[in-house]
A = this chain, B = another copy of it.
Amino acid sequence: MKISILGGGGFLGRRLAIRLAADGQLGGHAISGLTLFDIVPPPAPDAAFPVHCLGGDIAELPAAAIPPGTDVVFHLAAVVSAAAEADYDLGRRVNMRGTDAVIDACRALAKPPRLVFTSSVASFSGGQGALLPDDARQVPANSYGAQKAAAELFLIDATRRGFMDAVCLRLPTIIVRPGRPNKAASSFFSGIVREPLLGLETDLPVPDDFAVWVASPRSALGWLMQAAVMDTTSLGLDRSLNPPGISVTVGAIIAALDQVRQGASALIQRRPDPAIAAIVGGWPAGFTATRARALGFAPNEDLVTLVRSFVADDLDATREDRGI
């Protein structure tokens, strides 16, 4: 099985590459080659199979990023929410032209590959009170979400035309992300756990009763790998899934933090930020996720387990990376 990861240098892309390298197989198929593509060539994990790392502009995707014989493409490359809001042209270029280039690369293959696309909860509006069914209409309240929803439409159409076999996962907000705060409007949802665990102060721009639909990196990785090998015949025309995240309040995240490390939440500074609140406030805080559950996508773990997983998987490496 030959696999490409577009956005292979990003948070989920790197983690996925390391996991595939460690497993040596995906869904019982031995991996014979892995290609990682990002703006700059991503680091290659140690693997028993060849790993090719490429850098470039996804809107001008080099053919080598999805080489002949590729069976699975993970299309994770994106300009994130606050960045796409700040720079309309950049968001359109990477999120739309990039997806068009990915479609064209898949069209050029002899056999249509499975393509797993990370769409987002940000492609919906409805806000705090909403509990969205699987067939909810996407009326995005931000450019990133509009671009993700449009990309789903193009990938659904490309699947119908036989260019690929796509599965689009509308990922919840992923917590806890390692590394540093980034330009995503949702960055603080990870920051309020990660930064205090590093002994650092961090800002909370929304009230404690603010609700959010989240998933852990472990769950997201599991869903991506399941989407890569699942039987898609039952999906029909509609290739988009809302995976089973959990709806939690910021206050519940903080309580889980304190349960794992007593008193850690004292480092959280409550500083309302209307610009951030306006973006994340538009995202629905709950989904039924009925279809994905029925397809066997595993529900996300509880918050305390999620915080403990971050401590086990990422805290030391994050400390080291940031020289803390």
A interface residue numbers (CB < 8 A to B): 88, 92, 96, 100, 125, 135-143, 146, 149-150, 153-154, 156-157, 160-161, 237-238
Contacts and interface: CB of A to CB of B under 8 A. Distances in A.
A207 B137 CA distance: 32
Contacts of A157: 140, 142-143, 146
Contacts of A142: 157
A138 B160 contact: no
A88 B161 contact: yes
A146 B153 contact: yes
B137 A146 contact: no
Q: Which among A136, A141, A150, A161 has the highest number of chain B CB atoms within 10 Å? A: A150
A135 B138 contact: no
B146 A154 contact: yes
B138 A136 contact: no
A136 B208 CA distance: 33
A4 to B, nearest CB: 22
A237 B150 contact: no
Closest 9 interchain pairs by CB?
A: A146-B157, A150-B150, A137-B137, A146-B153, A150-B153, A135-B137, A139-B238, A143-B157, A149-B153
Contacts of A150: 149-150, 153-154
A139 B149 CA distance: 11
A125 B236 CA distance: 12
Contacts of A137: 135-138
Given A150-B153, A154-B150, A237 B161 contact: no
Contact of A139 (B88, B140, B154, B156): B156
A135 B100 CA distance: 27
17 contacts: A88-B161, A92-B100, A96-B96, A125-B237, A136-B137, A138-B153, A139-B156, A139-B238, A140-B153, A140-B156, A141-B160, A142-B157, A143-B157, A146-B154, A146-B156, A149-B150, A153-B153
Given A141-B237, A149-B153, 19 more contacts: A96-B100, A135-B137, A137-B137, A138-B153, A139-B156, A140-B153, A140-B156, A140-B157, A141-B160, A142-B157, A143-B157, A146-B153, A146-B156, A146-B157, A149-B150, A150-B150, A150-B153, A150-B154, A153-B153
